[in-house]
């Protein structure tokens, strides 16, 4: 996975987000390698890794001080109050992994402890 291609897929010009994108690339590669018990990300998972990286970039708010706001938890009409759920750090990452497990499972190796 390359930084330039990920930037093109996300429509990012310039280098302001390079550190964040490099972190996301490393994180996705690590997630795939750990889940599949592999030392390298196979070529057959390249497109999947880009899709995972794009999802993480768009949904995790990495690089910003403010945490990601989750879905609406409650709405009150009386004094107009809205509250949002805050997701745990790994919540979205786990959700993304579940979305891609059919693709990842084809490359997953059994590991004996």
pLDDT of residue 111: 78
Which domain covers residue 13, as residue numbers?
3-105
Name the pTM for this structure. 0.71
Sheet strands (E) in 4-111: 72-76, 81-84
Total domains present in the chain: 1
The alpha carbon dihedral of 20, 25, 26, 27 has a sign of positive
Give the 3-state secondary structure of residue 75: strand
* 111 belongs to a structural domain: no
* 22 belongs to a structural domain: yes
Give the tens place of pLDDT for each residue, 39-85.
999 999 999 999 999 999 988 877 765 544 455 556 566 666 656 55
Task: Tell me which DSSP letter residue 88 carries.
Answer: P
């Amino acid at each position: 996975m390359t930084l330039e291609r990920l930037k093109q897929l996300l429509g990012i010009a310039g280098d302001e987000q390079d550190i964040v994108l490099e972190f996301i690339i490393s994180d996705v590669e690590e997630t795939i390698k750990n889940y599949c018990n592999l030392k390298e990300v196979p070529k057959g998972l390249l497109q999947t890794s880009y899709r995972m990286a794009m999802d993480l970039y768009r949904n995790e708010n990495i690089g910003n001080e403010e945490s990601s706001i989750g879905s609406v938890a409650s709405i009150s009409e009386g004094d107009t109050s809205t509250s949002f759920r805050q997701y745990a750090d790994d919540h979205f990452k786990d959700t993304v992994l579940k979305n891609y497990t059919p693709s990842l499972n084809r490359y997953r190796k059994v590991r004996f402890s």
